[in-house]
Structure 1
Amino acid sequence: MGALIGAAVMAAVDEIVFHQILHWHHFYDRSTPGIGLLSDGLLHTAELIALVAGFFLFADLRRRHALAPAHARAGLFLGLGAFQLFDGIVDHKLLRLHQIRYGVDVTPYDWAWNIAGLVLLLAGIALTVRAGRLAGTRPAGS
């Protein structure tokens, strides 16, 4: 649930900032501008569906008093970092769907994007370990 929300939030940040505000790229840049815009719309749709689904899962866990906030926070950071690294490595480099920016040396952009994603992912891992330790120190039934 937290990871789903995190991935959706990072997809939204990417799509809003880099696709819409800065106009640096579209999700799929290997065709016409119209197809690029369509791909952005499909990404936005998927991101909104994931966000709504994640919050429905969050609400259900909360309603059932089964929500573990520390694990949810950890999942959020795992999702943020995983999306960003997937986008930076798979979408940008392996599939070459788009680059972060065109007409410039992309190396600093790639490093910044992927290092930021790695930092978020490592924060999520650290929070997951911490949440597991906290859960292990609580008395049963609390």
Structure 2
Amino acid sequence: MIAALVLGVGIGGFLDGIVAHQLLGWHHMLSGWYPREDMRLMMVGDGLFHLLCLVFVLVGVALLNRRAPLPDRVLLGGILAGWGVFNLVEGVVDHQILGIHHVRPGPDQLAYDLAFLASGAVLLVIGSLFARRARG
């Protein structure tokens, strides 16, 4: 289950970076600390973030390869739970404590940040229930 969680953290980070950073352009990894006009710095920050996500995915895959295959529901549940862990940790540490960036800066910034945290809690609960039901 740890392998699936680690994999989920990496996948969740990739999805956040691809959707919020690149497709929607709501923020960049360092946009809360530095002016968004410095696109070189924004790109480097996003690139380092994606590199960290890749490390999590590779570690998760390596851990999966060191054990007997997980049942599909346990794997999927672990990935969803890991994605939820990513959202919760990133939402608390990066958005609230450090202020590195917010989900979508502006007048509704807190609502977007809280929705991101809520999505993390929902993913964690659903993933845990899914994996637990599969194991039980």
TM range (shorter): 0.7 to 0.9
TM-score normalised by length of structure 1: 0.80
Equivalent of 1:7 in 6, 9, 26 = 9
CA distance in 2, matches of 1:104, 1:37: 25
Q: How many residues align?
A: 129
Unaligned runs of 5+ in 1: 134-142
- Superposed counterparts of 1:30-109, under 5 Å: 30-32=33-35, 33=38, 34-61=40-67, 66-69=68-71, 70-109=73-112
CA distance in 1, matches of 2:89, 2:133: 24
Match of 2:9, as an amino acid?
Answer: A
CA distance in 2, matches of 1:23, 1:127: 32
CA distance in 2, matches of 1:22, 1:37: 15
Unaligned runs of 5+ in 2: none
Q: 1:130 maps to which residue?
A: 133
What's the % identity of the aligned pairs?
A: 33
TM-score normalised by length of structure 2: 0.83
Pairwise CA RMSD of aligned residues? 1.7
The CA deviation at 1:76 is: 1.0
The CA deviation at 1:39 is: 1.1
Bigger Rg, which one: 1
Q: 1:20 maps to which residue?
A: 22
The CA deviation at 1:80 is: 0.7
